[in-house]
Structure 1
Amino acid sequence: MINKSLRRWFGLPSCMTSIGLYNRTGMLQLPLSSIVEEYKVSKARLVLTLRDSSDMSIRNAGIEVRTGRRWSASNAVEQAESRLRHQDIVGTSCQGRQGLGLNTRQPWSSATTVQRRELVQSEIRKEEEEIRKVKAVQMGSQGSWTKWQTTGRKLSWTDIWKYQFFQLQFLIRAVYDVLPTPANLQRWGLIETAECTLCGGRATLDHILSSCKEALAQGRYRWRHDQVLREVADTLERHKKKARVHAGAKHINFVPAGTVMKGTKGGHPSILDGTNDWELRADLMKQLQFPDIVHTTLRPDIVMVSGKTKKIILVELTVPWEERCTQAHERKKAKYEDLVQECREAGWRAWNYPIEVGCRGFPAPSLEKMFQDMGIEGQARKLAIKKVSQAAERSSSWLWLRRNASSWKPSTNG
């Protein structure tokens, strides 16, 4: 009943899986908690509270926590404790591209009673999340997000209240591919054919948002690309004015012996540091002219040049289908590798940054890496990535609204 009400509140179809509402490690995380998960955690907490009570009579009373036949709280607590002891033997492991020592955890052997209670509850939540993820992997279209090599997005209640209803509905339904595309309507038995109204191909969500040849020829995808590129260029334009110019030797503070000084957290080294004569050129409104360093017919989306330090930065943006971000990165990296090498042979220090932002608003790690190397840190970097993601998402929602229109007219407000 709760799942049905939540789907109706978000404007989602009944066929959408409840995993999209409650997952905590997926690409799109909503601020919702599963009542089944909360029930299991509360029952496990009750078992631990009774078992570890400071009152001897309560510990020896043999109180049984009833939970039904499908699931036993006592068994779940025993399994969670067994896994936690096993993790002490295995040690802390890294996932994906995490470096050694990045993750830390509280060992079970040295944990207090309160800490053990929290560890068991956390382990039960992890088990529930693992069950959800296993089910998602087994799904076809609704579980395709498990293959994405992009950065996830976590929506707060504040974000949800700020969203327009259609925009939020489009985002959730696009991630889980439950939008009423002709391919889905045919699968649901509502129409007979799934032809694209523009080119006649099979109109899946992938086809409509990133693969239609007629939409590409009309400039629809180029318009979306320019909307995202404008956000990236504006961010870099604002930040290049803040580039630090190091003058003279670094000041060293000497302190008396035995004095403990509070360390200052140094910022990430930035390519833009050392000069303030950066010139940014973006392939917007008019055709970009490559600087007179080498002769080339290639036109990167953004070129940043510093004549004093002889530095040049190339940024090439792609807005692909999320599952093809890795292929797009390798293709664009190879495309500009020779140009970067020619700039270096001409005596310039050159960098090549192919970046990808999924057409549904999920950026690849390359975007964060580029902002980090430019010296954009902390909250400023998070805000910049958020704006770029929203630009791609809003543009794709407009393309979705105009999917059946034979003539293309871009949105005037972007």
Structure 2
Amino acid sequence: MQKQATEWMRKIDKSGLPGMFKAWIFQHGLLPRLMWPLMLYEVPLTTVEGLERSISSYLRRWFGVPPSFSNIGLYSRTSALQLPLSLVVEEFKVTKARLVMTLRDSKDAKIRQAGIQTRTGRKWSASQSVEQAEGVLKHRYIIGATCSGRQGLGTTHLQMWEGTDDKKKRSMVQGEIRREEEGATKARAVEMRSQGAWTRWKLLERKLTWTDLWRYEPLRIQSLLRSVYDTLPSPANLHQWGLVEEPKCQLCQERGTKSHHILSACKTALTQGRYRWRHDKVLREMAEVLEVERKRKSPPRKHKPSFIRFVKAGDKGTRTTPGITGILGGAETCEMRVDLGEKLVFPDVVQTTLRPDVVIWSAESRQIWEERCDQANERKRAKYVDLMEQCMERGWCTWLFPVEVGCRGFPARSVWKMFQALGVVGRTRKMVVRRLAEAAERASCWLWSRREEKDWKPSIDRQ
């Protein structure tokens, strides 16, 4: 089995296909074929771990990451950047657990009483893992569905252990085993200083699908993976690897330069306008979306009193879906100005020297919206709070939306909240946020590839 798996990976590697297609063949062709003998035969966990190391070396080569790249970046389902790959060890544990439950809960009495044991070596026991997962699920049923934060009663819906059939129980046990394996992976990531730095981020994770990987150029996916897990050839990493004598930035000569310094903290790059160019790329994408939403004809909001309809015991209530209208729906005509190309002049509402990136206002309904993409949400909110109060004192209904998109292409929660408030929801909002993320990540990839150019100027093709 080991020889066959090695030969299959070698044939995929020599197929001449791009790396993303090779990874897809492994995920949907080789892995299911490999799971069948792993389920039937008595294979110890140490053998599966050795097989996983061999497979991971090929996957790192196909994705263009160094051998030191952790398996967490390839297989984790809770990391900042998630790839559609499955861990061989995790699939092996889930498969063995399913075999244990299939034999134990078989409808044939002879099979149930045969005393068949599923051996997986001394390092891990499938039967003990199933018992532990069932104990956790039963304990969760006793506790019930708990709410956290500002969640109300009934917000969290969990599938409980009692009252479900055997098929759902097997699915719940397998999910609990996956959750336990992912928890161990997250614990290892917290212990890693460089490649586990994403555990301290307060951003929503990004899930890359196979469609996304096929659209990405090899340099983009390679740069994205290495930037998230801090394995880019930055001066600090090159010095740590013993390839350079001093970890200095090529532009500002600052010592101890890491990848985030080159992408967002170099003073020379800031004065040259590199970060402003990336900022404008994201702002241009956002302005296009807001322009479409501004011109979209939406029904005006009607302020009618809403009443709570109580349902008698035993009756079924009728669920009504309200129309999706944002704060732009309250105005018939809106105007918009964007701080691109020429200096933005604030509309004739108040006199100010501040330059928000985007200003949307309606003279008929006396409403004004503004948003700015920069680094700190609190700093931007404090910066524009006086302007917001001045507009409200003159009788304008004003909303302020400070939003942030990270240099690695991770939009903050403020981006999602802003589009939801403007009426961009559902699948459209996901597509819009993905466009902003790709714009920032693509611009950062370009800046990284030109990090040693001292006389950098944005040309026509970079616009």
TM-score, normalization: structure 2? Answer: 0.83
What is aligned with 1:324?
none
Stretches of structure 2 lacking an aligned partner (at least 5 in a row): 1-53, 305-314
Letter in 2 for 1:60: Q
1:230 aligns with 2:288: no
What is aligned with 1:254?
none
* Counterpart secondary structure, 1:273: helix
Instruction: Give the one of 199, 204, 212 matched to 1:151.
Output: 204
* Counterpart secondary structure, 1:336: helix
Letter in 2 for 1:131: A
Deviations 1:136-163 (A, max 9, x none): 1111111111111112111111111111
What is the root-mean-square deviation of aligned Cα atoms in Å? 1.9
Structure 1 residues 181 and 98, CA, compared in 2 at 3 Å: closer, same or farther? farther
1:2 aligns with 2:55: yes
CA distance in structure 2 between the aligned counterparts of 1:215 and 1:404, rounded to whole angstroms: 10
1:372 aligns with 2:420: yes
Instruction: Give the one of 336, 343, 347 matched to 1:280.
Output: 336
Instruction: Give the one of 153, 168, 172 matched to 1:119.
Output: 172
Stretches of structure 1 lacking an aligned partner (at least 5 in a row): 251-258, 321-327
* Counterpart secondary structure, 1:280: strand
Letter in 1 for 2:367: K
What is aligned with 2:17?
none
CA distance in structure 2 between the aligned counterparts of 1:90 and 1:372, rounded to whole angstroms: 34
Letter in 2 for 1:358: G
Letter in 2 for 1:20: G
Instruction: Give the one of 342, 345, 353 matched to 2:401.
Output: 353
* Counterpart secondary structure, 1:64: coil
Asked if the contact 1:228–1:392 (Cα under 8 Å) also holds between the matched residues in 2, the reply is yes
Q: Which moved more, 1:95-104 or 1:333-342?
A: 95-104
Q: How far did 1:54 drift?
A: 0.7
What is aligned with 2:90?
37
* 1:307-386 equivalent positions in 2, closer than 5 A: 307-318=363-374, 320=375, 328-386=376-434
Deviations 1:65-102 (A, max 9, x none): 01111000000001000100111122223467766533
Deviations 1:233-255 (A, max 9, x none): 110001111142338899xxxxx
* Counterpart secondary structure, 2:356: coil
Letter in 2 for 1:394: R
What is aligned with 2:273?
219
For these two proteins, the number of residue pairs brought into alignment is 399
Identify, as 1 or 2, the structure richer in helix.
2
Q: How far did 1:105 drift?
A: 1.4
Letter in 2 for 1:84: L
| Runs of 4+ off more than 4 Å | 94-100, 247-250, 259-264
* Counterpart secondary structure, 2:389: helix
Instruction: Give the one of 62, 72, 91 matched to 2:144.
Output: 91
CA distance in structure 2 between the aligned counterparts of 1:207 and 1:101, rounded to whole angstroms: 45
CA distance in structure 2 between the aligned counterparts of 1:191 and 1:95, rounded to whole angstroms: 49
What is aligned with 1:172?
225
Letter in 1 for 2:276: R
1:101 aligns with 2:101: no
TM-score, normalization: structure 1? Answer: 0.93
Higher RCO (CA 8 Å, separation ≥ 6 residues): 1
Asked if the contact 1:243–1:274 (Cα under 8 Å) also holds between the matched residues in 2, the reply is no
Structure 1 residues 279 and 223, CA, compared in 2 at 3 Å: closer, same or farther? same
